[in-house]
Chain A
Amino acid sequence: MDWTIIQQSLPNFVQGFKLTLWLSLVGIVGSIIVGIITSLVQYFRVPVLKQILNVYVEVARNTPLLIQLFFLYYAFPVMGIKMTAETCGIIGLIFLGGAYMAEGFTGGFNGVSQNQLDAGEALGMNQFQLARYVVLPQGLSLSVPALAANIIFLIKETSIFSVIAIPELTNTALDLIGMYYRSNEYLFVLVVAYAIILIPVILLLDWLERRVRYGAFGN
């Protein structure tokens, strides 16, 4: 392990680090928005839209991100739709992540017990009030574990962006390895960089899960 090589590569990695963080953030926020909307449409059984979104969730969940990206980045231009690599990356990540998040939220909403729904109904709530005051708050805290798993998953999925040459962390490392043929050092920095991002995220999400657990399960 040669530390001077590592030192020289740091500016490159910092750039990649920032980009990974940024793409993850946009991807996660976008996925949560798409996921909530999708699962609400499914929960309220909005006709037509629900069927369309069901298909979306299944297609997005059962195909690899890499192929989704290849499609956006290489095949779409043939149809006359050209986008930058980063746009493709973000669209791909939100396409995938939205479906995962939707599954998580739907799981949470369905996890709200029938007893709780009965109690709300017995108090005279209509469907909207039931959703707003019973299903949503409880379902969201029930879906936190799935949300946490998805957030970690999506951050790691940004590594696949390297295949369409977005200069995030993994792509940065691969580029450097290609140029200088020093794999040990660069892979070491790469792993450390992911650890720096993911360890705090994991700790934070564990804390969040503990915080909401009571709210959801303690009757």
Chain B
Amino acid sequence: MAHSGISVLFEGTNFARLMGGLWTSVWIALVSLAIGLLLGTLFGLLRTLRSRLIRFVLLLYLEFFRIVPTVVLLFLVYYILPRQFNINMPATWMAVLAFSLWVAAEFSDIVRGALESVPKHQRESGQALGLNQWQLFRYVLLPQAIQLELPATINLATRVIKTTSLLLMISVMDVINVGQQIIEANNQTHPTGIFWVYGLIFILYFIVDYPLSLWAKHLTAKQKD
């Protein structure tokens, strides 16, 4: 690599542009997580209720997301909303929509699992103290469930962040899309630039995701004691 391509990263506004792209990715991940976790908590709660209809509908919802790859989800939103329902919104928001629904599905399963794994005698001893349904949920089940589900939730967040790499497929100006533009613009002068740009993006994703993974692992290890 006589003509080192690393300079591509720092030419002009390239680095700032990459960071801007990264921010778009992170922003979409954060907003989707916020919406998805709220919605997922609601769905998870509903799934512990007795109503068969509600449980069945939510199960169908969950299974749909279990079967359809996220790339395909993005395309479903991207093509079907504007053409079928005449809803036009920026691709960024379409991505948020698809991701939120996906996160809600996954998280509802985590919430339900956590609520159901709170030991039965905990529920019973709460009832024995005269707590009503809501108090039982608020003071006994929820605090224990949150502790149980935190590692799985963090892992879900790392997956959402990684999945933002698919955004370029629906033309969102995410970090990879920006990277591709930079590579193309410099292809003539710096053919090895591609190596450095993708390398940097690779490292950026790692820097964002790794601390979260570590945190989840740490929490899981602590729970085992």
Contact = CB atoms under 8 A, between A and B. Distances in A.
Nearest to A201: B67
B166 A66 contact: yes
Contacts of A67: 165, 176, 198, 201-202, 205
Given A63-B162, A64-B162, A67-B165, A191 B72 contact: yes
A73 B205 CA distance: 19
Task: Pick from B67, B198, B202, B209 the residue with the most CB of A within 10 Å.
Answer: B67
Interface size of B as a range: 20 to 34
B75 A63 contact: no
B185 interface: no
Main secondary structure of the interface of B (DSSP, over half): helix
Given A160-B166, A190-B72, A194-B69, A61 B213 contact: yes
Interface stretch (A26-34, A74-82, A87-95): A74-82
A202 B201 CA distance: 34
Contact of B72 (A61, A64, A68, A170): A170
B176 A66 contact: yes
A159 B71 contact: yes
Contacts of A68: 202
B20 interface: no
A62 B83 contact: no
A75 B195 contact: yes
A59 interface: yes
Interface residues of A, number: 37
Contacts of B162: 62-65
Contacts of B34: none
Contact of A152 (B66, B163, B176, B205): B66
A214 interface: no
Nearest to B191: A78
Interface string B165-178: 11001000000100
Nearest to B5: A78
Given A63-B205, A64-B165, A195 B69 contact: no
B32 interface: no
A70 interface: yes
Interface string A199-218: 10010000000000000000
A86 interface: no
Interface in A149-167: 152, 156-157, 159-160, 162-163
B198 A71 contact: yes
A63 B206 contact: yes
A198 B72 CA distance: 14
A195 B192 CA distance: 41
Interface of B: 66-72, 75-76, 79-80, 83-84, 158, 162-166, 169, 176, 191-192, 194-195, 198-199, 201-202, 205-206, 209-210, 213
5 contacts: A59-B206, A71-B202, A160-B71, A184-B80, A187-B75
Given A66-B166, A67-B202, 11 more contacts: A68-B202, A75-B199, A78-B194, A78-B195, A173-B75, A174-B75, A183-B80, A184-B79, A184-B84, A194-B67, A202-B66
Q: Across chains A and B, which 10 residue pairs bring their CB atoms closest together, nearest first?
A: A64-B165, A183-B79, A159-B69, A62-B209, A156-B69, A66-B165, A64-B162, A159-B71, A75-B195, A198-B67
